[in-house]
Structure 1
Amino acid sequence: MSQLVLFAIDICAVVLLVFGLYFPRHRRRDLVVAYLGVNIGVLAVASALSASNVGAGLGLGLALFGVLSIIRLRSTELDQHEVAYYFSALALGILGALSTTSVWLSGGLMALILAVMFLGDHRRLFRHYRHQILVLDSAITHHAVLVARLEQLLDARVHAVSVQRLDLVNETTVVDVRYALPDRALIADPSTSTPSGARR
């Protein structure tokens, strides 16, 4: 009976993770079925292995190997927060299949995962900080000059700059820049405000 309760808790947790947190924030439809499939697949495989003579460690290793293979051999690029959602869906499935732990412990750990994802992926957390790859129409070799040029262009404080490509022939510089916007830019940027009826 406790196993069925864990199954139900896992399904509720992954539905909340996908439809309550991920999709309203990121709107990537193709990953919805991926997260649901990973969770239910791991739940089914881990439950079958726990009922057999195969060790739980082997089952966990196979599940982790499967998810890592999916992420490593992906055909489309994933951001780091999307990888975090992958592992959250995986962890929820494993917790839902562990009949050796109490329902309260597994349910509490699932709630902890959801709480961490809610807070860690919240748009108000470090909302000043941005990351972009820019192509400048001049070749800049001096680091201080490059930072000053980027701060002027972005109207922001640059924290880190990495030159990806410096083309002295075509006079271009490709940079990976991490910067923080001032408060006035956040007020003027509509993407940082929550529309009426929108969720974060």
Structure 2
Amino acid sequence: MSPYALYLADLVAIVVLTFAVYLPRHRRRDLVVAFLAVNVGVLAVSAALAQSTIAAGLGLGLFGVLSIIRLRSTELSQHEVAYYFAALALGLIGGLGTTSLWLGVGLMAAIVAVIAVADSPRLLTRLRQQIVVVDRAIPDETALVAHLERLLGGQVHSATILRLDLVNDTTTVDVRYSVGIPTTTTADGAPSSGTAHAAMPEVTR
């Protein structure tokens, strides 16, 4: 089997992953360059290792060290880490080669398809995560969740207090929630839909 077919398949896969999946969704140009460079670099080095007497395990270990250095050099979100390792995996599959061309192409297609589906904006569209700074110190978790639901207009699934500042009267909290307007209970026990209602004027006689 000619290795050039896998090289071509890798280039096609990384172009699809970068320009058809990542860029239209996230619009970050610097990572496009990073994904392409990582993929082509890993492809070249792994192809060279496959033709030499150096063990493939040593090459994979070096790639692991380099990937850790790269990830520590800048702040990446979790979905960007997934794209980064997908580009790395595509390069490894293309460079090291497999016993079958169709197996290699199938693995590359599976990686691209999984990333495309998992990062789809139509998947789990209601789930959100935010770091919220509340303009009051709320140590009670139940009261904090109720306040966040009214503030965000959604159902809070998790609220982790990152910092409780009693001096400046603020609470920093990591919130995981679903968008929507739930029916919650206010501090005085009255039901609330998450929106403020104007009080009806009192009629006097």
| Contact residue 163 and residue 172 of structure 2 kept, 8 A | yes
| Counterpart among 156, 159, 163 of residue 165 in structure 1 | 163
Structure with max Cα Rg: 2
| Deviation for aligned residue 1:182 | 2.1
1:45 corresponds in structure 2 to 45
| Deviation for aligned residue 1:98 | 2.2
Opposite residue 119 of structure 1, the aligned amino acid is: V
Opposite residue 164 of structure 2, the aligned amino acid is: L
1:64 and 1:111 mapped to 2: Cα distance?
23
1:30 and 1:82 mapped to 2: Cα distance?
12
1:60 corresponds in structure 2 to 60
Tell me the SS of whatever aligns to 2:46.
helix
Runs of 4+ in 1 over 6 A off after TM superposition: none
Q: Please say if 1:126 is aligned against 2:117.
A: no
2:136 corresponds in structure 1 to 138
Structure 1: unaligned runs, 5 residues or longer: 184-200
Structure 2: unaligned runs, 5 residues or longer: 182-205
Tell me the SS of whatever aligns to 2:156.
strand
1:59 and 1:141 mapped to 2: Cα distance?
51
1:176 corresponds in structure 2 to 174
**Matched length:** 182
2:62 and 2:16 mapped to 1: Cα distance?
26
Q: Deviations over 1:104-144 (max 9, x none)?
A: 10000000001100110001111100000111111101110
| Contact residue 163 and residue 176 of structure 1 kept, 8 A | yes
2:17 and 2:98 mapped to 1: Cα distance?
24
% identical aligned pairs: 55
Moved more, 97-106 or 79-88: 97-106
Tell me the SS of whatever aligns to 1:140.
coil
| Deviation for aligned residue 1:66 | 1.1
2:105 and 2:69 mapped to 1: Cα distance?
28
2:92 and 2:135 mapped to 1: Cα distance?
51
2:95 corresponds in structure 1 to 97
1:173 and 1:25 mapped to 2: Cα distance?
32
2:171 and 2:118 mapped to 1: Cα distance?
33
Structure with greater proportional helix content: 1
1:153 corresponds in structure 2 to 151
2:149 and 2:51 mapped to 1: Cα distance?
60
| Deviation for aligned residue 1:96 | 0.4
| Contact residue 132 and residue 174 of structure 2 kept, 8 A | yes
Tell me the SS of whatever aligns to 1:170.
coil
| Deviation for aligned residue 1:67 | 1.4
Output the TM-score relative to the length of structure 1.
Answer: 0.88
Opposite residue 28 of structure 1, the aligned amino acid is: R
